[in-house]
A and B are shown apart, each in its own frame.
Chain A
Amino acid sequence: MTLARRIIPCLDVDAGRVVKGVEFGGLRDMSDPEELAARYNSEGADELILLDITASRDGRATFLETVSRVAEQLNIPFTAGGGIRRLEDGNAVLRAGADKVTVNTAAVARPELISELAAQFGSQAVVLSMDVKKANARWEVFVRGGAESSGRDAAAWAREGVSRGAGEILLTSIDRDGTCSGFDCSLTATIAAQVSVPVIASGGAKTFHDFLAVFDEGHADAALAASIFHTAEHSIGALKRYLAGRGVPVRLSR
């Protein structure tokens, strides 16, 4: 009896369509979020994350509608976020059908946002998303979609986020994101050793071996990917069978 390592597909959406950037740039239209959500749900995904990547105020209603339509397709846990600035934004996403809300830039600007969300909805519903990049010979937290350094040290920010009530850390390596050069296992292991909550590794997944490495060497509790699943390059079922064959505890769908 072991807690399974999770495989989490991520849908980056803009104006109701799934898009995926390379190193946070160059958006490319990919697919319909409901269609992908239904596919992942049946393929054995352990969870789904939906991110509003442009997070414009005008697009808010469209995003909430997408959250609600995607929720209809799922009987697995569902996290949504992007542009969550206030308690009410988190409430709207949860009411639309998400189980957890993820916060990023606004939490760096005003860390109390994490405490407010955790007090209202419980830590299990609050995911602190951090975009991290090597800068000044350390790992720094970047904000605004990876465009701007916050000047915060990644490990210190992860610890603060958890002490304020974040129940999970979604850790994205900006250096690796969209590059298909593998997860940053060193960054993941560093953050996982600093916090008492689960860490979801993100950025750079390409091969099945990348997932094995981030669980074995990176000590990740979960691994997230987007493009490689969307393009049907890899099926989630095949990935999980590969991991199970190498001793990683995973939930195999039947």
Chain B
Amino acid sequence: MKISIIDYGAGNLPSVERALRTLGADTNCVIRPEEIATASALVLPGVGHFSAFVTGLRERDLTAALRDAIARSVPILGICLGLQAMFAASAEAPGEQGLDLIHEDVQALPTNVKSPHIGWNQLRRLRESVLLHEIPEDAYFYFAHSYAAAATEPHTAAACDHGLPFAAVVEQHNLMAVQFHPEKSGEVGARVLRNFLEWAQ
């Protein structure tokens, strides 16, 4: 099965692609709506600003194509800003619309902790998770973000705490997303990607 990585110029695309290929995945980079319409599995990487991200998707007519793919039950993995884009909106860019696949907003991290939340942190499992299958409970994952979504259930499968609990792993039917960077999280990160690949088969 081919894994199509959505390429709108995200900084972390090369590392995501390299990490997937190391696991033996057959990947290609896609940018046109018709490519998304025929994809069998999608990865949405992302770093940077919410506004640039959703504007980039909209200008390339990818917003509707992505929503259609989700509706067709195509497996999709969002990474970092790719998770935040699944939500309705973000405090980082008031007025801009996300994909709204989860009808909640992304908020700024609280001011009583260091922000950006940069570094390796642990997760708290809220329920059975596809992406965290066979990963030890105390494993560390690499985070680098200033905004986050609330750890609302049932779509949040695992939370992380930084000032407040936030959604670290989201799993809702065929929609999977992580706030951390699996491509930068060493061996456990590679296992998250492998779990996605095996589940998407």
For residue B146, which residue of chain A has the nearest CB?
A123
Alpha-carbon distance A144/B161, docked complex (angstroms): 40
Given A1-B123, A2-B121, A168-B118, CB of A124 within 8 Å of CB of B14? no
Q: Are A77's CB and B142's CB within 8 A? A: yes
* Residue A125 CB within 8 A of the other chain: yes
* Residue A21 CB within 8 A of the other chain: no
Q: Are B47's CB and A251's CB within 8 A? A: no
Q: Are B18's CB and A253's CB within 8 A? A: no
* Residue B140 CB within 8 A of the other chain: yes
Instruction: Map CB proximity to B onto A2-40 as digits: 1 under 8 Å, 0 otherwise.
Output: 111010000000000000000000000000000000000
* Residue A171 CB within 8 A of the other chain: no
Instruction: Map CB proximity to A onto B136-150 as digits: 1 under 8 Å, 0 otherwise.
Output: 100010101110000
Total interface residues on B, CB under 8 Å, equals 39
Chain A residues touching B, majority SS: loop
- B135 CB, min distance to chain A CBs, angstroms: 11
* Residue A216 CB within 8 A of the other chain: no
Contact of B186 among A4, A71, A76, A124 (CB under 8 A): A76
* Residue A151 CB within 8 A of the other chain: no
Chain B residues whose CB sits within 8 angstroms of the CB of A221 once the complex forms: 114, 118-119
Chain B residues whose CB sits within 8 angstroms of the CB of A251 once the complex forms: 120, 140
* Residue A222 CB within 8 A of the other chain: yes
Alpha-carbon distance A38/B131, docked complex (angstroms): 26
* Residue A198 CB within 8 A of the other chain: yes
Alpha-carbon distance A198/B116, docked complex (angstroms): 8
For residue B183, which residue of chain A has the nearest CB?
A75
- A186 CB, min distance to chain B CBs, angstroms: 20
Instruction: Map CB proximity to A onto B6-49 as digits: 1 under 8 Å, 0 otherwise.
Output: 00000110110011001000000000000000000000000111
Contact of A75 among B14, B144, B160, B184 (CB under 8 A): B184
- A191 CB, min distance to chain B CBs, angstroms: 13
Given A72-B18, A97-B14, A123-B146, CB of A6 within 8 Å of CB of B120? yes
- A146 CB, min distance to chain B CBs, angstroms: 26
Q: Are A75's CB and B189's CB within 8 A? A: yes
Chain B residues whose CB sits within 8 angstroms of the CB of A6 once the complex forms: 119-120
Given A1-B123, A75-B19, A122-B49, CB of A99 within 8 Å of CB of B11? yes
Chain A residues whose CB sits within 8 angstroms of the CB of B119 once the complex forms: 3-4, 6, 46, 198, 221-222
Q: Are A75's CB and B120's CB within 8 A? A: no
Interchain residue pairs with CB less than 8 A apart (8): A75-B190, A76-B142, A99-B47, A120-B48, A122-B49, A124-B116, A167-B116, A168-B118
Supply 4 further A-B pairs (C-beta < 8 A) apart from A1-B124, A46-B120, A125-B48.
A123-B146, A125-B11, A167-B116, A168-B118
